[in-house]
Structure 1
């Protein structure tokens, strides 16, 4: 049985959207869905309780604690960890599970291929973790927000990593790997770095819809949080993956000169975010969660 763990902190406005798509075409008993309402002051638990899922509640507003409780309650593998504010369909969840239950893909004799987001699900080897392709919701967003993501989505480490997709699926061995990681604000980045390229795949048949910020201020909140998270990983794990540098931006602009203005926006946002994050890093504040509320409307 495929288990799906959904940590949810004050997600009453959006969790119904996720569960609608996730369960719409699911067969009875196909998914073991556990929603962990953590530290909620809204109706998250009540909204989730209207669906065929199990709902747990804890007064502790902690994603890591919610994941721990969900893991203890979950019944099977593969196991999907899904953010409450994204959209994932039944077919997408099935594709992620299939990529892990058949590690060599549907045709073990097929040549290795890649997608723009990274290795195809048919890549050979012991696959322990999988994630969907991203579909960023950018309609109605300010030009600067759209410009930022036009660059971000073209960065090689963003295209290949499991992070920033709202979903990570793991085998039992993969689950043991990420559960052994130390606490980190950037839990999805830490999980991505825990697997070698041969152990993780991006699944073309799965697509997660990610709501982007609706304001530049909310974009900055996300990026300051991300920069703070990277700083934490560099301090605690001596690694944080690849950082974006001038060469990355130059390569993108060289391939598409029309993105020059977008690259300038990206660079400015990145510089400001790192400067603001430096205060939290110096103070060792890796618990303040700068949440983007605009994407939850």
Structure 2
């Protein structure tokens, strides 16, 4: 019996999609999950690479780039009355993690579920490593990371799909549910890779901030208030993290300043990290 559908939007991810699918398929029973890769606006061999690794999955190709459009297309292939998992193409996740993630949804205990994201920083610049060390102090992450990997029940999917054409699909989905409707599954842990350079980190932060602003403009304000104060208080309580927290706040402040100075036309640039998409 199919437990859930996994949607993997992929834009020029030939370097990493094979790694992601190999992690995912290890120990996977045929038919246990329906896996749908949506290669969108690709100019590389993403679709071919996905098909070579994912013999029993579905690979959709569309000339239209955009993560939200890709997820909307993928939902048409989803199993009815089963949870839907949204997974970034550059994230490492195991079968055990996915089973833990959908468990509360299968029991009807929540409409959405997220887990804990571990960030691999061993290949990154020291200031990038410091940033992510300070990043951990943000109270947002006390309830897990709703991004990179999350799941919704069929009832939850009906609420958020079709997704609007925005940058931050994950933030839109998160803010579409009340906190009590989202379950943080601590046994669900997945790994993302940090940008290797400070410049790439700044671009990623600008994209994230721009996406959050778009969601707010749609009428979904951020549920977090006073997070900077909490970050500062936690750094005071643990002075060893003071340097990391300073880097974290400085990078975010700089990203906000640059974003504010950009024109609307300039803000449409995707600004994703390319430093981790080499030799995947």
Fold conserved between structures, TM > 0.5 = yes
Structure 2 counterpart of 1:106: none
2:118/2:190 contact within 8 Å kept: yes
Cα-to-partner distance string for 1:9-32 (whole Å, 9 max, x where unaligned): 000111111111111101111111
List gaps (5 residues or longer) in structure 2: none
SS in 1 for 2:213: helix
CA gap 1:40/1:207 in 2 versus in 1, 3 angstroms: same
1:232 is aligned to: 214
Q: Which residue of 1 aligns with 2:275?
A: 294
| TM-score, normalised with respect to structure 1 | 0.86
1:53-202 equivalent positions in 2, closer than 5 A: 53-76=57-80, 77-103=82-108, 126-160=109-143, 162-164=145-147, 166-179=148-161, 182-202=164-184
Distance 1:162 1:246 in 2: 18
CA distance in 2, matches of 1:183, 1:226: 15
Contact 1:137 1:211 (C-alpha < 8 Å) held by counterparts: yes
Q: How far apart in 2 are the matches of 1:91 and 1:56?
A: 26
Report the counterpart of residue 8 of structure 2 in structure 1: 6
What is the CA-CA distance between 1:101 and the residue it aligns to? Answer: 0.6
Counterparts of residues 198-277 of structure 1 (less than 5 Å): 198-237=180-219, 239-242=221-224, 246-277=228-259
Secondary structure in structure 2 of the residue aligned to 1:60:
coil
Structure with the larger RCO, 1 or 2 (CA within 8 Å, 6+ apart): 2
Distance 1:199 1:246, change over 3 A: closer
Gaps of 5+ in 1: 104-125
Match of 2:32 in 1: 30
Displacement of 1:163 in angstroms is 2.5
Alpha-carbon distance in structure 2 between the residues aligned to 1:133 and 1:249: 19
Contact persistence 1:15–1:84 (CA under 8 A): yes
CA distance in 2, matches of 1:56, 1:217: 33
Deviation at 1:284, TM superposition (A): 6.6
Contact 1:163-1:192 within 8 A present in 2 as well: yes
Residue 276 of structure 2: SS of its match in structure 1? helix
What is the TM-score normalised by the length of structure 2? 0.91
Q: How much has 1:227 moved relative to structure 2?
A: 1.6
Per-residue CA shift, 1:215-235, capped at 9, x if unaligned? Answer: 111100111111212222232
Q: 2-side partners of 1:243 and 1:41: how far apart?
A: 41
Deviates more, 1:176-185 or 1:268-277: 176-185
Equivalent residue number for residue 111 of structure 1: none
Q: Distance in 1 between matches of 2:59 and 2:125?
A: 36
Residues 163, 48 of structure 1: alpha-carbon distance in 2 compared, 3 angstrom cutoff: same
Shift of 1:69: 0.7
* Runs of 4+ with >3 A deviation: 180-183, 243-246, 284-287
Matches of 1:240 and 1:284 in 2, distance apart?
24
1:246 CA drift (Å): 4.2
